[in-house]
Structure formats: C-alpha cells, structure tokens
Amino acid sequence: MDVGAKLKEWLSFFTEPTAKRLMLIANIGGVGYYWVVSLLVFYVNLFVIIPSILSENLGWMRFQWWFFVVAYFNMMLNYLICLSKKSRYTSTEGIVTEEASSKGWGYCVPCQQYSPPRTHHCSVCKHCILKRDQHCFFLGACIGHFNQRYFLVFLFYASISALHAAVCFFTYLNQYFATFLSLDFYCYFFPIATTKWVLGYTPSHLFGILALFYMCLMLGFGCIGFFTFHFQRALHCQTSYEFSHRVTTYSRGPQRNLQEIFGSYWWLAFLVPIPQKQTSDGIVWNKPKELKGY
C-alpha cells in the first residue's frame, strides 16, 4: 500500500471545494449514524424491551427474540458484503477512441479513461462505477453492478428490523410511558415530550426509547419505500439514472433481469447471501435485439 498516496488522499479533504467537502461530511455522518442507531436498537430491543414486554409468555418472547436476531444479522451481513463488493472500473487495456465510441463507451474526464456503457463516475468515491445506481451515504459507498443484490436484500431486512423494533418500543411505551388513545396520548408528540424531559417530568430512559421509536418508524417506512422503488428498477433492468432518463434498452423481461442481478436463483439471495454467477460482467451489455432467440 502506498502510504504517501493514501495520506495525500486524506489531506485532500481540506483542499476540496465546499460542495465536495459537504458530500464527504455527509458520507462520514451517514455511516456513523447507521452504526450508532443500529447497534443501539439491537441492544435496547433485545436486552431491555423484548424481555420486559413479553416476560409473561416465554415461548412468544423467544420467538420474537430470534425473529429480530435473524432479521438483524441478515441486514448486517448484507451491509458488510455490499461494502466489500466493489463495482469500480479501472481500464486495464488501451482502447482506441473509435472502437470505444462505437461500442457505446464514454470518456471519463476525472479518471482519464474510457468506461463501458452504464458506467458513471462518482465524485464521492472518485472512481468509475460499473452500472452505477447511486451513492448510498449510510454505506459510504456506491451501489453498482456487483453489490446491487446485497443492497436490495439489506433494504428488505432493514425494513423488517426497524419496524419490528418500532412495534416493540411502542408496546413498551404503551405500558410504561403513556397509554395509547388515552388523555396522556399528547405526550407522544415529540416537542411536548422533549419539553417534559428537559423540565424533568419524563425520565431520560423513556425519552430515549421514544426517540428510538420515532427513528425506527421513519427508517422502517423509508426502507420500505426505497426497497419498493429499487426492486421495481431491478425488475425493469434500470438504474436510477436510466429511470430518470427513461432508458429501457437493457430490459430482457423480469425473470432475466432479476437473474442478471442476483444469479440463477434470485429468491435464494433473500434467504442466504451466497454469491451466484451473474449473467453480465458489467462491461458488455447485450440489448434484447442482439440476443439469440429473443
């Protein structure tokens, strides 16, 4: 590893223009937020909330405990694999201008190289990303050809984990904070809850659980929205960029589109994160009319 180059890269943060620096701060903040909230929710839900609200029904408590553990570990595992699978493109061979442009390749000015169709440059990652979809600030990385499947499964389990925790937190608050649909219900309104906590009327641990409840609720519904949108894009073989520019060139039917992202058994990716061979290498893209028998 070139330590000098790495150090230069880190120091370049202070010389970046403001917009780029803000993106880098958002990147660090997003990753920090994800880890703090997810680890906090994991601990509080498993070791404080579930044992407390389900103490009278041991069987049901074990079921809820393991349900959350399985969903949470699937989320974390897919998050980490998503980070480890880079979709970066670095040119290894010199491609002449005419040949490159005739194949639909484009020239990336920051990287000073020709890059394949569907590849876009990410100014945060500072790399060309194969079939780039978006830069995810919670991951601090780009979603592209090789990690899209892990990102989709991550969103799926993040929705389940966050909503499960939100329901458990609400059940706890209903018992110990304020009863649902009672005269005390106004306490749930966050500005009122914050004022009561500041004035010392609400214990800190209850206020903390209320804050976590709102976070999980927002993250849960947010992830459902993201998952629905991105799964739709996967079915139509479109990146977010192609969707906004109405590009439908690469779609080969829902079944084949999913195989191209997940491998032969797309549903298996939702059960275990086993790698499966994708039908495209991310560099060569066949259009439907060029495929035999299609």
Site residues for Zn ion per CB under 5 A: 108, 111, 121-122, 124-125, 128, 135, 142
We find the least distance from the C-beta atom of residue 279 to Zn ion, in angstroms, to be 24
Considering the complex, state which of residue 91 and residue 194 has its C-beta at the smaller distance from Zn ion. Answer: 91
Considering the complex, state which of residue 60 and residue 107 has its C-beta at the smaller distance from Zn ion. Answer: 107
We find the least distance from the C-beta atom of residue 106 to Zn ion, in angstroms, to be 10
Considering the complex, state which of residue 71 and residue 143 has its C-beta at the smaller distance from Zn ion. Answer: 143
Q: Where are the alpha helices (DSSP H) in 45-147?
A: 50-53, 58-84, 97-102
Q: How open is the CA angle 215-232-269, to the nearest 5 degrees?
A: 80
In terms of DSSP bridges, do strands 113-115 and 106-108 run parallel, antiparallel, or are they unpaired?
A: antiparallel
The number of angstroms, rounded, from the C-alpha of 63 to the middle of its chain's C-alpha atoms is 27
Considering the complex, state which of residue 71 and residue 128 has its C-beta at the smaller distance from Zn ion. Answer: 128
Considering the complex, state which of residue 61 and residue 111 has its C-beta at the smaller distance from Zn ion. Answer: 111
Q: Which amino acid is at 205?
A: H
We find the least distance from the C-beta atom of residue 126 to Zn ion, in angstroms, to be 8
We find the least distance from the C-beta atom of residue 119 to Zn ion, in angstroms, to be 8
We find the least distance from the C-beta atom of residue 259 to Zn ion, in angstroms, to be 26
45/213 Cα distance (integer angstroms): 10
Write the burial class of residue 48 (CB in 10 Å: 0-12 exposed, 13-18 middle, 19+ buried): middle
CB 169 within 8 A of CB 209: yes
Distances 99 to 115, 129, 254 between C-alpha atoms, Å = 12, 21, 31
Considering the complex, state which of residue 81 and residue 235 has its C-beta at the smaller distance from Zn ion. Answer: 81
We find the least distance from the C-beta atom of residue 140 to Zn ion, in angstroms, to be 8
Q: Where are the alpha helices (DSSP H) in 85-179?
A: 97-102, 148-176
228/243 Cα distance (integer angstroms): 14
We find the least distance from the C-beta atom of residue 85 to Zn ion, in angstroms, to be 13
Considering the complex, state which of residue 127 and residue 149 has its C-beta at the smaller distance from Zn ion. Answer: 127
Considering the complex, state which of residue 88 and residue 196 has its C-beta at the smaller distance from Zn ion. Answer: 88
41/275 Cα distance (integer angstroms): 29
Question: 148 CB contacts (<8 Å, ≥6 apart)?
Answer: 131, 133, 234, 261
59/238 Cα distance (integer angstroms): 45
